[in-house]
Amino acid sequence: MTEQTDLKDELNIAEAWMKAGKEVAIATVVSTWGSAPRPAGSHLVIDEDGNFEGSVSGGCVEGAVVAEAMDVLSSGQPKMLEFGVADETAFEVGLSCGGNIRVFVERIG
């Protein structure tokens, strides 16, 4: 890993946001099935202002995860999200070829 890559690491960004006094949620891909744009272990960090870094999928799925993360930040209650689509609608929501992903969203800090 280069130094520049380390600076863009989602977990380092989350830590910096928390040190700045922001509430932060992290979304983690916990499992995939079929075709999925991001592997298990991928992260998306979201702050209380709706800023985000990283990726858990792309397309509409990512927008839905950010929206759910805002709810998690408000309630403090973690959520397990699941996104799966049929082949004919896969591209419309951001998953290619009928993939399925599970994403765990929690407040950190």
Structure tokens at 96: 């290619």
pTM given for the model: 0.82
**Where exactly are the structural domains of the chain?**
3-108
Q: What is the pLDDT of residues 7-59, one digit of tens each?
A: 368 989 999 999 999 999 999 999 998 878 889 999 999 999 999 999 998 77
Residue pair 36/100 in contact by the 8 Å Cβ criterion: yes
- 3-class secondary structure for 15-84? HHHHHCCCCEEEEEEEEEECCCCCCCCCEEEEECCCCEEECCCCHHHHHHHHHHHHHHHHHCCCEEEEEE
Cα(41)–Cα(39) distance, integer angstroms? 6
